Amino acid sequence: MKIATIQGFKRWKRVKYMRDYIVEIEHLNKAFPGVKALDDVSFKLKAGEVMALVGENGAGKSTLVKIISGVYTRDSGDMIIFGKRVDELTPRKARELGVAMIHQELNLCPHLSVAENIFLGREMTRGWVLSDGEMNKRAKLILERFNINIPPETIVGDLAVSKQQMVEIAKALSINARILIMDEPTSALTSKEINELFEIIGRLRDEGCGIIYISHRLEELQRIADRVTVMRDGRHIMTANFSDVTMQDIITGMVGREIKEKFPRVNVRRGRKILEVRNLNAGRLVRDVSFELYEGEILGIAGLMGAGRTETTRAIFGADPKESGEIILDGKPVDINEPLDAIKAGIVLVPEDRKKDGLCIRLSVRDNIALPNLDMLVKSWSVIERRKEKNMVEKAIADLMIKLPDSEVEAGSLSGGNQQKVVVSKWLARNSRVVMFDEPTRGIDVAAKVEIYNLMNHLKRQGIGVLFVSSEMPEILGMSDRILVMCDGRITGELDIKDATQNLILEYATRFDSRTGDAAIGRAI
């Protein structure tokens, strides 16, 4: 009875909260050079609700929430927060109002501790001296409140990306936010950590916190969203109770058309063997890996986090040193000691972290496409042939339908999906033989995902071998011709797509070597 009474009180309290709007935006407009990011947008958020904010990359979602959090200033429009009209909003003023934002790209200082990151800019001191003990104590309470099991003294750079994401969440929650904005918060989390995050969201919602939740993983929204707002091309398309709309309604609103096929598989006759990897060893998470890749084939690599999938692609590409093993391309051994060796041989990598490893975000799109291809563009006396460069860049942009005002725009200013296209486009100019994709659709919308899949199909038809790492089970099953499954650094299964099922993949993904013991299971799950 006591538990039922408490739960009933929480429901009553939440209903009470949800009568009140805590964010009211009318006729909001924002333009950047060459782009109108927001066009007469209206948006409302209630206390004690989770509002899903969805749309394609470039729809205006990030611009809207950056205005609410004070990062951008609006050109025109009215904004009311907690019943008060807001004229000029800065990040500091937004924090004081109780607005916190968890960015998709981690915004942490890797050389500082967890506690120092949580209180960055709000450090606790005794006189002129930092009070590390007090910050550690307070940080521990914050972490424990949300069941985040990370010692506050830990250096952030030593944590896995998923744990860094949890620190980012704790940092945002440390200001006792009443308006919490989450931009793709689950993109680097395991299933267990996603469940923990959703428990945190439920607790905050019951306490009256209004949450704006941006995600391209639409299936997640069914678990947490109360209402949904759909944006397209900088405009507000619709707002509705989540229970009143279907997934197809949401997708159609996002892209302006019905997407009938999420995974556009094409059948291509498999050609001869392009790539063979024999007994590859590199660090702890690449142990005796062997496989083959054929012309016109998409070879998927599945596994749990920490299985060694990313590490395998990096070792093949020369980004990480290998201890032993052979890489054979078109029947001939190739000596790959650094990425330049792989690129010249015709083996290229589209990395998992596009901003860190795939792009120079401060340089233009033109520079990003041209840089890895200078050997094809430079004539005698180290002079770039500008006409050849211009043709290469224009063709790359047109082939992948990259949305941008011109090729001189900074790569970092593009939406996530268009950034991913830029990463891919620079390799296509080289007539590469093997293209490795590591989580290519991470953080991009439904329509952009289909474009990436079509790109993979385009490579497949050209007889290029595609290696494809993904944590999305439907994606692996939907696009692969064969599937390799990894567990704790080893390949534990190989499946033809006609034999593959989700349960069978998971069985192989948890088939730990007897020598690894329970500790390995704890790392991967």
pLDDT band at 19 (very low <50, low <70, confident <90, very high): low
Q: What is the pLDDT of residues 170-228, one digit of tens each?
A: 888 788 789 999 988 887 677 777 888 888 889 889 989 999 999 877 878 889 999 99
Q: Using CA atoms, how far apart are residues 467 and 36, in angstroms rounded to an integer?
A: 37
Domain count, the chain: 3
Residue 413 belongs to what domain range?
358-429
The DSSP H or E segment spanning 226 is none
Q: What is the pLDDT of residues 297-346, one digit of tens each?
A: 999 999 877 789 999 999 999 999 999 999 999 999 999 999 999 998 99
Q: Using CA atoms, how far apart are residues 55 and 72, in angstroms rounded to an integer?
A: 19
- Considering the domain architecture, whether residues 372 and 506 belong to the same structural domain is answered as no
> What pLDDT shows up at residue 175?
80
Q: What is the pLDDT of residues 354-387, one digit of tens each?
A: 777 888 888 999 999 998 888 888 876 778 888 8
Is pLDDT of 478 > 60?
yes
- Considering the domain architecture, whether residues 199 and 64 belong to the same structural domain is answered as yes
Domain ends where: 229, 255, 281?
A: 255
Query: Could you give the C-alpha distances from 151 to 141, 143, 214, 224, 390, in angstroms and in order?
Result: 11, 9, 29, 28, 52
Domain ends where: 384, 401, 429?
A: 429
Q: For 13-17, 39-43, 230-234, 388-392, which range has the lowest pLDDT when averaged over its residues? A: 13-17
The CATH number of residue 437's host domain is 3.40.50.300
> What pLDDT shows up at residue 522?
30
Domain ends where: 227, 255, 283?
A: 255
Q: What is the pLDDT of residues 144-179, one digit of tens each?
A: 887 788 999 999 988 877 788 788 888 887 887 899
The DSSP H or E segment spanning 213 is strand 210-214
pLDDT band at 275 (very low <50, low <70, confident <90, very high): very high
| Six token digits for residue 395 | 């063709």
Instruction: Find the mean pLDDT for residues 478-503.
Output: 92
**Closest by CA position to 293, among listed 262, 318, 330:** 330
- Considering the domain architecture, whether residues 496 and 444 belong to the same structural domain is answered as yes
The reported pTM is 0.62
| Six token digits for residue 246 | 């279907």
Instruction: Find the mean pLDDT for residues 32-47.
Output: 89
Any domain includes 168: no
